[in-house]
Every structure is written in structure tokens, then in C-alpha cells.
Structure 1
Amino acid sequence: MNILYLAHRVPFPPDKGDKIRSYHQLRHLAARHRVWCACFADTAEDAGYAAALSEWCEETAVVRLSRLWGKVRGLRGMAEGRTVTESFYDHPAMWAALRRWSARVRFDVVAAFSSSMAPYALSVPADRRVVDFCDLDSEKWGAYARSSKGPLGWMYRIEADRLAQRERTWAEAVDAVLLITEQEARPLIGLVAPGKVRVIGNGVDCPPSVSAPTVAAAEPVIGFVGAMDYRPNVEAVCWFVQHCWTRVRAAWPRAVFRIVGRSPTRAVRRLARVEGIEVTGAVPDVAPALRGFQVSVAPLRIARGLQNKVLEAMAFARPVVLSPAAAEGIGAEPGRDYLVAAEPEVFAAAVVDLLRDPVRRERIGSAARAFVQRHHAWPDALRRYELVVTGRVEQSAPISETLPVPSRQEVSPSVLSRV
């Protein structure tokens, strides 16, 4: 098949949440079909990865996206009654590249990653169009609105409402919509045609073997891994330091909280002034960092989709303490596969208890790794993804079911299509 793959970021390298998912999707499709890839690059570094994409694809178009001008377009679009999201990514160079390809290539399928690429997907002639929303961005903007005050909160609310309407419109216009969890899919149930909404989770690359870390010189390491210029991650580590860290240090005076991830904001860098806190910035490979954690934490107050940072820690058999928001969509069993805590004193106590009990740490870490191996293997997720993209999902029963329309009052998880 001739497949056009669209992404709002360069799907390489697979070093952050959305790139991990799009990277695996593109590699899988390119190994089995003829694929053209068009995507945006918001940094010069990302633009330099065009050569890597060319190794897999028939042709690539990497459009450099200025975040400054993107914001200008976004604000102008908001003033004109459109969404910031679609205006931010409305770029003449992308439209031109797609027109050139469409004039000489007959695409069987357009597969778009993220709702921001849906307008482009709908513009290209093709027999089939599939959009992977991954998670509903309108829900994220709604969460931002609820946690923000003043003009910013007002702007977030407008974007959430407008984008929710556009997401429904785009979902109706394409042949299939993918979401990463049942929780993310629920808002669309009953609003689009039955059978269109399908759930495909992420996989995790499990290391072939892991070992339990030892606590050296009474200096246990609690860790967090993530992009540290992403608002939910910034708020998560700041919350942990502000509300939990003194409790942890009271029990373990030489404990270390290690924050690992690229582009730490000023607020994150300031945390390094607090005794026992390390901010590493970008690392070439997160595996050594994960191996060095006694406990991994994910205290996110706002969390959309499926938290790769949690799955990766679980794959390395690290016990994770996470917030209820971060636990949504994972589907593991609290108390067996990880510990869930909401209140600061409970969250801190869970961390301290794990540090005191190496047997329990190892037991929860082992259960977490086993869960990930059973439920988050990339080969299975990608096989199901290809079936949806190519339109063969209807022939793949029993791994897919038609999505019935539930009542407006209740949405049962059982009605969601697990392809």
C-alpha cells in the first residue's frame, strides 16, 4: 500500500512520549508498505533527523516550525474563532508539500498522528483516513483551565471547548480514530458513528534482564523521568518537593530525589537548591538512571493518556508510587503492581515504606515488570495498529468489536473497541 504518514513532530528519536509512539508506528508501516512521511520540526536538532526518516520512507518532508510564529498564528486564529491548535500548525510549506505529493502519488491510506494533523489528513485524496488522537487535547486544555486563573484560564477554556468540537468533527470525517486508553476514548462515545473509535495502547521496550538496586551508604535514590519543560511534569516534581520531600528526608536524611529529563525550566532548576535534590537535564540514555532508582515517582496532578514514564520504570522492575491521575489508563493493580497515593502525607509515607522494605520493593517491581510484559508489548500493539490503518480490522475478529452507542447517562468500559 501507498501510505502517507503525518506527524506534528519528527518521529525520531524515540526519546519522549509522543515520539515513542509515532516512531514505532512509522517504522512498522515502512517495513511493510511504501510510506511517505511529512512532519514538523520545532528545533534545528529535530530538523536534522530528516536523513534518518529517509532511510525508511519513499520520501520525507520535514517542515521547520517556528514556535514564536506558531503562537502568533494561534492567537490570531483564536481571535478569528478558530482553535489555537489548528492555527499553530497551519503552515504553507506543509500544504505545499502535500499538494506536490498528491499530484503524482495515489495514496491508499493517510495515517495522521495527533489531532493537529487532522486538517492535513482530510485534504489529501485517499481511500482511507485514520487519525491517532493518542489522547484528547481538548481534555488537556480543560484540565489547564481548571488549574489556572485569570485571562490564561479563560483562554484555556475557550480552546478546550472549541477543540472538543473540532475533534468530534474530525472524528466523524475520517474512517477510524485511535485513542491510547479507554478513559481517553470515552468523551467521543455516542458522538461519532459506532465502530469508529478504537483503543490501542503503547508498548514498552523491556530490558532483557534487570536487577534490584542496592541502597548504598543509606543514600536511596527516588527518581522522576520526563521532559522537564512540559507543564504537568514541572508541576509534578514541584508538588513532590513542596509537599512530600521534607517527610521523606525526615525518615531518610541522606535520600536523593533525582529529576531526569531534557530542558528543565527555571522552576525545575531552582529545585536543585534544595538539599538532596539533583536535576540532571538531558541524558543520552535513561536506562542507567532508571537502574539507579530505588523508587520511581509520578505525582502528576494533570495526566492525559498513558504515562510512558511509569511504564518504563515498571519495565525496569522499579516500584512506582504514582498519583491517581497518572494511574488512569494503565490498568495495573494498585498494591500489587504499583502504589497509588493522592494526599502528600500518604504519598510520602508510601515512598518511605518502600525504602524501608527491600523485599516489598522487589516484589512490587517484579510484578510491575511482569504486567508490562503481558500487556504492553510493542509487536502486539503495532500489529493491531496496522490492521486499523489498512482497513483490515473488520476481518480480524475477535480482536475487534463494533463500538455500540451507549446511553448518555453511563459509559461502560466494555463498549470500547479494543482492536
Structure 2
Amino acid sequence: MKPRVLLLTPFPPFPPDNGGVLRIYSIVRRLKEHCDFSLLTFVRRTGERRFQQHASAMALRSLFSEVHSVPKESTDSSHPPPGLPQIAREWYSDEMAVLLRRLAAEGRMDIVHIEFLQMASYVDAAGGVPTFLTEHDLSHLSLFRSYFREWTGLRRWGQVGEWLRTRRYHGAICRRFDRLIALTPEDRGRLAQVVPPEKVSLVQTCVDLERFQFRPEEEGTPRPADMAYVGHYPHYPNEDAALWLCRKVLPRVRARAPAASVLLIGSAPTEPVLRLAGPGVEVTGTVPDIRAHLDRAKVFAAPVRLGFGIKGKVLEAFARGLPVVATTVVARGIPEFRPGMDLLVGDTPAAFARQVLRLLEDPGLRRRMAASAREKVVRHYDWRGSCDKLLALYRVAAGTRVPEASPQ
């Protein structure tokens, strides 16, 4: 018997145009021959995104045996349990809780796997079915590295009460789950301070090595763009990174390389990101395939300053053959990559610009770092290893520890 897994997500995990969605989609696609997946998710009935989300839900029927949806608008007239922080209140729906209880009572699944903290309050509707929670980003635990726009700058001081409420909620809700899934060793350590360590498992985000084949810069064939960055820009850390790169770092790079250019790739650029477009700064918007755009750049910049977790876009750059300059926030999530050997690290605009210039002025260094990082990403971030781990956890939870071939 295959483990029957109900995934509970805040939005349909398609198209895979941002890190969290790409992770869910990649795992389900690789494990669908070994697990019977169903999906319970919100979709919008009104507004600009309603057609895209309904099309996404339809597209997922090839991966999920059942797709159940609840209108996101149902959260507007619901009655959240008292004490929920804003992140949970905004995603609480009486209709969603009733539907999950019904599915659980009908014995339709062996496991309920909830994705993202904003959906964690539904753990109590699982009706005794084993529950998993994937923590995609633990920065809600930090007032200074949070991914919430409202918790940045001077505004954060008005959010101290909400931050404390979120921290208390996080600890209490995590203890109700049977299994927590962490994305990095650093995150696993943080979660192990909240629940018994044996309840926390590391299942890293990885990269599709077949799709992102090694295409390093060829000697004597210069690439037109100096730096590239990839982001889903409604996620505030990505907007912040793009603004910091273009406003703070790029002028320092141009002081020594006046023609230096930046390529901002990725979905749904916000108004502040769109306003960055100009001479030497291209904002592509959503693209059908980021590989062709990565192949235009000499260096991948990862100037993310907020959040925790692992940045899949950096793994894709490593796999494709781009040397990377990153902040310490990014480097902490990928401890196998050694600063100075596999990537360069800078945390101030001046330090980041110096590292970019080192690579721009030394094609040999770019090629050496690209080759070293590719070797590391192949060794440590192949999806087969992470899928094997998650499948083993599913089988234990479902009581179906039947030997099967490893997922490809």
C-alpha cells in the first residue's frame, strides 16, 4: 500500500515560479509513483488571480488523485479561534476546517502534511491522522530578520506585540504536530529547541540537476550581463534584495566598472522593483524558463538580508555554472559551500561590491568557483536524497514500510 498523503497548502502549488511552490511541486512530482497524494488548498473566486489559480488547480490533477479547494474569500467571514496571530488569522477559514475534518473522518488519508506556518492552525482538524508541518522560513521568530514587510525598519517597533504573539503561537502549534520538517541544519536546530529533537527531520530543498545542467561561461565568449538575481518579488525579502543590490551595491561596482549591469529575473515584480529598470538594469518579469536568462550573466548575486531557510535560486545558479556572491543570511542555509572556495560572501554594500568586482575582473576565478560549486551541489543537493528521506518518514507514519525502488 502506498502512503496516502493529503497536502494542505495556502495556494495551488503550480506554476512552480517561487521557492516554496517549486519545492512542493518537485517533491510531489518525484514521489507520486510511491505515494497517493491528494491536495486541499485555497483558490480565489474573485479578483485578478482567480483564473490563474483555477487553472493551476486543474493542471495539478495529473499529480494528485484528488484536488479539493476552498474559496480564499471564506476567510473573510470566518471565526478564528482566539489568540491566533495575524499570520494564522488571515488564513483561517471555517469552511476549510470543516472540509478537512470530513476528509479525515472518511478515512481518505494516512497523513496530513501541512505546508507553511499560516496553515498550521488546521492541525486540530486532522482528526487524529498523523500530521506533518514543513517550516519553509523561520524568520517570524526574529524581529530583525522577519520576511514580513510590516516588521522592517522603524515599523518593527510597532509590531513587538504581534511578534511575541507569533513566537508563542509557533511554539504551541508546533508541539501539536507529529513531525516537523526543516529545510536547513540551522532551522532544524531552532525547531529542536521548541519540540523534542526526535520529532524534527531535515529534508533539504534541492535542485533539478537534469534541468539545470552545467553551462559555465566559456573562455573568450563574454556574457552581456554582469550580475543576475532571481526572485518572486511579492515575497518581501526578494524585493528588499533587489532594491539593496541596485541602490546600494551597483553604484559601488560602477565606481570601478562604469558599464556594470544587473538582470532582475523573476515573477510578479512589485512597483518598487519595476521602478529600478533603466540603463544597465533590466527587469524581465515572469519568464517561461530562467535558464536562458541565467546564461546571460557572469555572476549570480544573492543579496538576501531577511529570512532564514535555503534559497533554491542559489542552488540553481550553482548547478547552472554561475559563480555566486551572497550574504551571510544566504550562506548559512547552505553550509556545505565554503566561503572563498565555492562562493564569495559580503554583508555590507561595499563588501558585496568588492566581491562582485573580484569575479568580474577575474574570468579564471569565475570558472574555478563555478566548477567547485557544481561539484558540491551534485554531491549534496540532488532531489533523490531528500525524497528518499521524506518517503521513509511517510512510510513510518502510515505504517507502510514496504521496500520500493528509490524515487528518481
Deviation at 1:303, TM superposition (A): 2.9
Question: Within 1, Cα distance between the matches of 2:167 and 2:277?
Answer: 38
Counterpart in 1 of 2:339?
334
| 8 A contact 1:218–1:255 mirrored in 2 | no
Moved more, 340-349 or 355-364: 340-349
Counterpart in 2 of 1:148?
153
Q: Over residues 319-375 of structure 1, what are the superposed CA-to-partner deviations in whole Å (9 max), with x where a residue is unaligned?
A: 010111121110110111100011222211211121111111010011111111111
Question: Within 2, Cα distance between the matches of 1:249 and 1:114?
Answer: 40
Counterpart in 2 of 1:309?
313
Mapping for residues 150-229 of structure 1, pairs under 5 Å: 150=155, 153-155=157-159, 157-206=160-209, 207-213=212-218, 219-229=224-234
Question: Within 1, Cα distance between the matches of 2:290 and 2:308?
Answer: 22
Question: Within 2, Cα distance between the matches of 1:165 and 1:87?
Answer: 15
Select the residue among 326, 329, 334 that pairs with 1:325: 329
Question: Within 1, Cα distance between the matches of 2:118 and 2:27?
Answer: 17
Deviation at 1:131, TM superposition (A): 1.2
Q: Over residues 155-186 of structure 1, what are the superposed CA-to-partner deviations in whole Å (9 max), with x where a residue is unaligned?
A: 3x333222222222222212111111122233
Q: Does 1:267 align with 2:272?
A: yes
The number of residues matched between the two structures is: 388
Deviation at 1:249, TM superposition (A): 1.9
| 8 A contact 2:325–2:352 mirrored in 1 | yes
Mapping for residues 20-39 of structure 1, pairs under 5 Å: 20-39=22-41
Q: Does 1:356 align with 2:361?
A: yes
- For residue 9 of structure 1, give the secondary structure of its aligned residue in structure 2: coil
Ranges in structure 2 where 5+ consecutive residues have no aligned partner: 402-408
Counterpart in 2 of 1:95?
97
Q: Does 1:65 align with 2:72?
A: yes
The one-letter code matched in structure 2 to 1:164 is R
Deviation at 1:129, TM superposition (A): 1.4
| 8 A contact 1:183–1:329 mirrored in 2 | yes
| 8 A contact 2:243–2:276 mirrored in 1 | yes
Question: Within 1, Cα distance between the matches of 2:197 and 2:312?
Answer: 29
Select the residue among 100, 124, 127 that pairs with 1:125: 127
Deviation at 1:386, TM superposition (A): 1.5
Counterpart in 2 of 1:40?
42
Ranges in structure 1 where 5+ consecutive residues have no aligned partner: 397-419
TM-score normalised according to structure 1 size: 0.85
Q: Over residues 239-269 of structure 1, what are the superposed CA-to-partner deviations in whole Å (9 max), with x where a residue is unaligned?
A: 1222221222233222221111122122111
- Alignment CA distance shift 1:190-1:81 (3 Å): closer
Question: Within 1, Cα distance between the matches of 2:397 and 2:235?
Answer: 37
Runs of 4+ off more than 6 Å: 214-218, 392-396
Counterpart in 1 of 2:88?
86
Question: Within 1, Cα distance between the matches of 2:223 and 2:175?
Answer: 57
| 8 A contact 1:122–1:129 mirrored in 2 | no
The one-letter code matched in structure 2 to 1:4 is L
Superposition RMSD in Å: 2.7
Question: Within 1, Cα distance between the matches of 2:338 and 2:158?
Answer: 37
Counterpart in 2 of 1:7?
9
- For residue 11 of structure 2, give the secondary structure of its aligned residue in structure 1: coil
| 8 A contact 1:210–1:317 mirrored in 2 | yes
Counterpart in 1 of 2:58?
51
- Alignment CA distance shift 1:154-1:209 (3 Å): same
| 8 A contact 1:220–1:355 mirrored in 2 | no
Deviation at 1:110, TM superposition (A): 1.3
Counterpart in 2 of 1:286?
290
- Alignment CA distance shift 1:392-1:62 (3 Å): closer
Counterpart in 1 of 2:406?
none
| 8 A contact 1:257–1:276 mirrored in 2 | yes
Deviation at 1:288, TM superposition (A): 0.5
Question: Within 2, Cα distance between the matches of 1:104 and 1:243?
Answer: 56
Question: Within 1, Cα distance between the matches of 2:143 and 2:395?
Answer: 32
Question: Within 2, Cα distance between the matches of 1:187 and 1:276?
Answer: 41
- Alignment CA distance shift 1:352-1:188 (3 Å): same
Select the residue among 63, 83, 107 that pairs with 2:109: 107
